[in-house]
Amino acid sequence: MKTSRAAVLTQYEAPLELREFPLPQSIEPGAALVKVKLAGICGTDVHLWHGQLPIPLPVILGHETVGVIEELGDGLTHDWTGAPLAAGDRIGWSSSINCNECYYCRIKPQPTRCLKRKAYGISYDCSVAPHLLGGYADYIYLRPGTAIFKIPEELPTEAVVGAGCALVTSLHGAERIGLHMGDTVVIQGSGPVGLASLAVAKASGAATTIVLGGPSHRLKLAYRFGADVCIDVAETSVEERKAKVLELSGGFGADVVLECVGIPTAVTEGIELCRDGGRYLVLGHYGNAGTIALNPHIITRKQLTVAGSWGFEPRHTKAALDFLAWARIEFPFEYLVAEPFTLDRANEALQATASWTTAKSAIAP
């Protein structure tokens, strides 16, 4: 029986363990067996490693993955867009599967809050067959109902993984808060989500984009992605950053502030950076990093619109691939990906992301 290696999280804040699992002897209808080509390390993986979301253990992490079809189950003949699929095709996929039947799927519609939603690299106990339901592995098994997307030949694998779930998450967030031509936009955070949000803001016609973040190598990337001004949070105080944003916005504050950092105190700072009648989006808090003291009077006095955004839908994956196809030169997401780690060095890849030493770490099994 053929097997696949996988890097497994067995307990929070413990090193990943390299284990072997049997490949499925048969592929069920609508499913696919995929050989992993490149798996991105997401900031969410760090939150999961720290135990900031309740997930089953043991789990194979990895929800930003590109692979090549090894075998297709009966009935799986086309991708989500209707393009034909065959063994050997290079594909990506939406990381979660919804039930399409619950209250949030059918009635409200808020499919990212599906009551039975399951996500690759997050929701599956890998001790249970078919085991291989995360990207940190030689192979991944895509369950029936997965939204699969054939990747155009001209789009590099590194661009898709470099954009990762950051771009689809940012597209969903921009949709919920609204980005308009001529806006002054502040982005809190210069990691993958911050850079993706910067790209979306620029493409939406933002007049001025201001990135608050660090370290310096990430701020250089923000300038490469078109930021007008970058402010290093390690070298400035909250009051200095507020004064700079006011200066750059004619004394009023930003039209939109996008929180993309996942640090609770950023929210307290961010609402202060909005102009009266401005908009604030909490995008970076996928994990539960704790609570803060917040004065709601500021939200009332400024008449702020405050929104949250969770995950994304398959339509956002399609939009992200289209975005990469036409805007890849302007926003070179492939340059974010550092030299990939091998699967037996998955712990180093995770640590590199946790310590912000790379813009984007990845595993090439």
CA distances from 77 to 26, 72, 120 (A): 17, 8, 21
Which residue spans within 143-295 are E strands per DSSP?
148-150, 184-188, 208-213, 229-232, 254-259, 274-282
How far is CA 147 from each of CA 92, 173, 316, rounded to the nearest angstrom?
9, 20, 11
3-class SS of residue 13: coil
The angle at the Cα of 342, spanning 221 to 166, to the nearest 5 degrees, equals 35
Verify cis geometry, omega within 30 degrees of 0, for the bond prior to 192: no
Distance set, CA 336 to CA 162, 204, 220, 340 (Å): 6, 22, 11, 11
Q: What is the pTM for the complete model shown?
A: 0.94
Interhelix angle 157-177/314-327, rounded to 10 degrees, is 120
CB 353 within 8 A of CB 45: yes
pLDDT at residue 1, as a whole number = 63
Report the DSSP beta bridge partners of residue 92.
Answer: 149
Q: How does residue 228 score in pLDDT terms, banded at 50, 70 and 90?
A: very high
Q: Is 32 within 8 Å of 150 (Cβ atoms)?
A: no
Residue written as tokens 């297709």? 72
Decide if pLDDT at 121 tops 80: yes
For residues 29 and 38, what is the distance between their CA atoms, to the nearest angstrom? 25
Q: Look at the chain and count its residues.
A: 365
Residue matched to tokens 């209808």: 29
The whole-angstrom distance between residue 327's C-alpha and the CA centroid of its chain comes to 18
Spatial distance between the Cα atoms of 345 and 341, rounded to a whole number of angstroms: 6
In this structure, the dihedral spanned by the alpha carbons of residues 232, 233, 238 and 243, taken in order and rounded to 10 degrees, is 10
Token pair belonging to 316 = 């956002």
pLDDT, average across residues 177-183: 97
Query: Is 70 exceeded by the pLDDT of residue 272?
Result: yes
**What are 314-324's pLDDT values in tens digits?**
999 999 999 99
Distance in angstroms (rounded) separating the CA atoms of residues 210 and 65: 30
CA distance 228 to 210: 6
CATH class of 3-156+328-363: alpha beta
Average the pLDDT over 156-184 and give the result: 97
Q: Which long-range contacts (CB under 8 A, 24 or more apart) does 223-227 make?
A: 224/332, 224/335, 225/195, 225/198, 225/199, 225/331, 226/198, 226/199, 226/202, 226/330, 226/331, 227/187, 227/198
Residue 320 to residue 313: CA distance in whole angstroms: 11
Q: Yes or no: is domain 164-308 CATH 3.30.70.1350? A: no
CA distance linking residue 314 with residue 80, whole number of Å: 8
Q: How far apart are CA 290 and CA 123, in angstroms?
A: 22
For the segment 89-112, the average pLDDT, to the nearest whole number, is: 96
Residues of the chain with CATH 3.40.50.720: 164-308
Q: Which residue carries 């949030």 as its tokens?
A: 104
pLDDT tens track for 2-57: 999 999 999 999 999 999 999 999 999 999 999 999 999 998 999 999 998 889 99
**What is the per-residue pLDDT across 284-322, written as a single tens digit (0 to 9) for each?**
998 888 999 999 999 999 999 999 999 999 999 999 999
The CATH 3.90.180.10 domain(s) of the chain lie at 3-156+328-363
